[in-house]
Amino acid sequence: MKIAAVSKLNKKVDLLIIPTFEGKDHLQSAPVEIKTVVASLKKDKSFNSEAGQHHHVTPLSDKLPKNILFLGMGKVKDFHAADARNMAADAMKFAKKMESDLTFVIPEAANDYFQEIAEGLEMANYNPAKYQTGESKKKHEKTDVKTVTLITAKKPNPALKRGQTIAAAVMNARDLINAPHNLMNGTMLMNAARKIGKDNKLKVTVLNKKQIEKLKMGAFLGVNKGSDIDANMVILEHKPKGATGKPIVLVGKGITFDSGGYNLKSGAWFADMKMDMSGAAVVMNVLGLCAKLGIKKHVIGITPITDNLIGPKAQKVADIVTTYSGKTVEVNNTDAEGRLILCDAMAYAVDKFKPSKMIDVATLTGACMMALGEKYAGLFANNEGMIEGIKKASDATDELVWHLPLHPDHTKEMKSRIADLQNVNYGNKGMAGASTAAAFLQEFVGKTDWAHLDIAGTAFVSKPKKYEAPMGTGYGVRLLTNYLENL
């Protein structure tokens, strides 16, 4: 999509959208070229620019825009970055409905938020129906907005470009997440990571199954036992000139389809289990952004990739596996597989790279989804500074987090009667499932400063935000990029 900034309105456009704010002169942001429309609207007391109000005008004059939409934004003092992103998304959704290119007046209150405006425009224009054909495909293509013209006295091109670059990474993550297993299996996801690495001149290392076996990653390999596609682990490394000190490591869960194994899943959400590699998709695209945005940090992304299926060779309930760290794990539930592939990847990262900080991103627990729904990811950490930094990034990006408890008792609950650890503790009747899962992962980070993002609810949604679409959201790409930039 092309986004351009101009200083004056071309009156013969198809669609003009004008955000307005409450107050005595609430239509002051309207261009002088449509003063006749504004004069008429001032007499209409039903529109006063309250938040969420829309007023659609069709002037029926060849000297004015064909359609004009006034967007009520509420009080200007309440307007922040998230509102700018949502404002742009509202405008884009209306343009798609009208099957029209968009001319968009940028109010003075939004002059510091051109990046967010570009993000909102691009992300709201995303079409998840990639695999439709024929008339359905044509219908979706007809609604795609090709050109957006912003009316502003500012020269926002660098911020716009930056916003479009970030949004493109989010949408690439969405495409990976939305693809079904037959079109995004472990080999395909590995190749997608390779492409991101190549396109962004990252160092790419792929550990194949034989190498993983040699490293004795028994937990990771246990999950892969039921699959006819070999496990692999992709390592992307961004190390710009001048970057010194220990790296920051991101680890993303890459389960390309999760059947639950012999603890077989049931219910309507089974079809959504293609999304269980969302953490990997996020980490890959954050590494790409590190290069594109010139982030001056040494960052490494690790994605352990497999599916979790059933079959004669598949892992059985109560199996005991030996992890890369040497700790043994009793597999009480084959559907708690994410923590098994992550624990080996995280222990490997600590041993191999000695990171200054490590963050894992995973669609890990239904418990977190039940607790926080689709709007908040669960945040766990062993470091207060990381908690505060991630919260600040959350506020800036509107990718919301909620800090959840990680108590020593949660760690005790993950001790096994027969091995060192158990991947699920049935004795607690499923209580605090997100916290006990995080406690399990903490066993593999040593003394490393670490944070865990449980994105089970936010990665794949039925009730999207204004700039999202149903299914994959790419949640975490903007959050982690902002966090890394501001370290």
- Residue 41 near residue 68, CB atoms below 8 Å: no
Q: How far apart are CA 183 and CA 314, in angstroms?
A: 22
Question: Phi first, then psi: what are they for 76, rounded to 5°?
Answer: -65, -30
* Catalytic annotation, pick one of 339, 357, 465, 478: 339
3-state secondary structure of 356: coil
For residue 470, give the H/E element and its range: none
Q: Looking at 168-247, which runs of residues are DSSP E strands?
A: 203-207, 232-238
Active site residue 296: no
Active site residue 265: yes
| Burial of 462 per CB tally in 10 Å (0-12, 13-18, 19+) | exposed
Q: Looking at 187-327, which runs of residues are DSSP E strands?
A: 203-207, 232-238, 248-252, 254-258, 299-308, 319-322
- Residue 46 near residue 133, CB atoms below 8 Å: no
DSSP state of 12: S
Q: How far apart are CA 56 and CA 192, in angstroms?
A: 43
* Catalytic annotation, pick one of 137, 154, 265, 375: 265
103, 117, 288, 114: which is closest to 195 by C-alpha?
288
Residue type present at position 438: A
DSSP state of 324: T
Residue type present at position 245: G
Place of tokens 């002051």: 28
Helix, strand, coil fractions of the chain, as percent rounded to 5: 40, 20, 40
3-state secondary structure of 250: strand
3-state secondary structure of 221: helix
Question: Phi first, then psi: what are they for 268, rounded to 5°?
Answer: -65, -25
- Residue 448 near residue 355, CB atoms below 8 Å: yes
Question: Phi first, then psi: what are they for 135, rounded to 5°?
Answer: -65, -35
- Residue 447 near residue 383, CB atoms below 8 Å: no
The count of C-alpha atoms lying within 13 angstroms of the C-alpha of 279, restricted to the half-sphere facing its C-beta, is: 33
Catalytic residue IDs: 265, 339
